[in-house]
Every structure is written in C-alpha cells, then in structure tokens.
C-alpha cells in the first residue's frame, strides 16, 4: 500500500512547522529575546504561542492522519489533512497579527482533525467495505 498523498501532505505539514520555528527564531534575533527566555514583546509572544499550539495540535493530527489514510484511504486522508494545513496557516497568519483573530483557523483545523478521527473509526468498523 502506497500512501503517497498522505506522505506529501505530511512533508507539507513539517515544512509549515519549520516555518513556525523560523519565525520564532527570527523574532528572537530581531527583538533580542535570548534563549531560553520565553517572555518578550507581544510580537514574540504571539509567535511562540503559534509554534507551541501547532506542536500541541500535531500530536493529535499526525496519528489521526495516518490512521485515516490506512483505514479509509490515502486521498481522503490527504484531503482532510490539506484542510487541516490550510486551517493552521490561517491560524498562524491571523495570530501573528492579532491573537483575537485566530478563531477561524483554529476551528477549521480542529474540525479537520476530528474528521480524520471519524474517518479512522468508519474505516476500522468496515462501513466503507
């Protein structure tokens, strides 16, 4: 079984996370926030929160993505994963500007992650067979 679409999507998610890390690193240098400090100007705090929240979400998302791909199909999982990725990008861009604007991206990515979980349950239960 080749899960090429899910694999490509996973690479895209990792690139998005690497971008989050780079934003935090760039702001550390620009704003003079020396490691291991986790406090600083609001701009830095928003960036570190985006990075942290993305890691928190990936803990749920990645297993759900791969379980859904295994049990309900590569394309379905990759498409839901793409929705999650778009939601996370929306979340990050909004949060970096103004924390109060993060809700839509968070909602989209959360619903996509739950859909991946439900896709896994449907696949495991044999409803699609």
Residue 69: predicted pLDDT: 97
Burial readout 19-34 (b: 16 or more C-beta within 10 A, e: otherwise): ebeebbeebbeeeebe
Give which of 6, 100, 20 is closest to 52, Cα–Cα.
Answer: 20
Residue 128: predicted pLDDT: 61
**What are 22's two structure tokens?**
């780079």
Give the C-alpha separation, 101 to 90, whole Å.
10
Give the C-alpha separation, 9 to 1, whole Å.
16
| pLDDT tens figures, 17-48 | 999 999 999 999 999 999 999 999 999 999 99
How many other CB atoms sit within 10 Å of the CB of residue 15? 11
pLDDT tens string, the chain, 129 residues long: the values are 689 999 999 999 999 999 999 999 999 999 999 999 999 999 999 999 999 999 999 999 999 999 999 999 999 999 999 999 999 999 999 999 999 999 999 999 999 999 999 999 999 998 765
Phi and psi of 41, rounded to 5°?
-65, 155
Assigned fold of 4-123: 1.20.120
Please state, for a pLDDT cut of 70, what percent of the chain lies above it: 97
Residue 70: predicted pLDDT: 96
Residue 33: predicted pLDDT: 96
Domain spans in the chain, listed from the N-terminal domain onward: 4-123
Residue 1: predicted pLDDT: 61
Give the C-alpha separation, 102 to 100, whole Å.
6
């Amino acid at each position: 079984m080749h899960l090429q679409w899910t694999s490509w999507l996973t690479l895209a998610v990792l690139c998005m996370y690497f971008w989050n890390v780079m934003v935090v690193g760039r702001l550390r240098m620009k704003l003079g926030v020396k490691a291991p400090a986790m406090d600083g100007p609001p701009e830095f705090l928003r960036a570190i929160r985006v990075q942290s929240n993305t890691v928190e979400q990936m803990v749920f998302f990645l297993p759900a993505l791969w379980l859904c791909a295994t049990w309900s199909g590569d394309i379905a999982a990759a498409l839901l994963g793409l929705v999650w990725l778009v939601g996370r990008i929306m979340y990050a861009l909004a949060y970096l500007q103004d924390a109060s604007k993060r809700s839509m991206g968070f909602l989209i990515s959360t619903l996509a992650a739950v859909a991946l979980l439900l896709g896994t349950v449907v696949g495991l239960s044999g409803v699609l067979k």
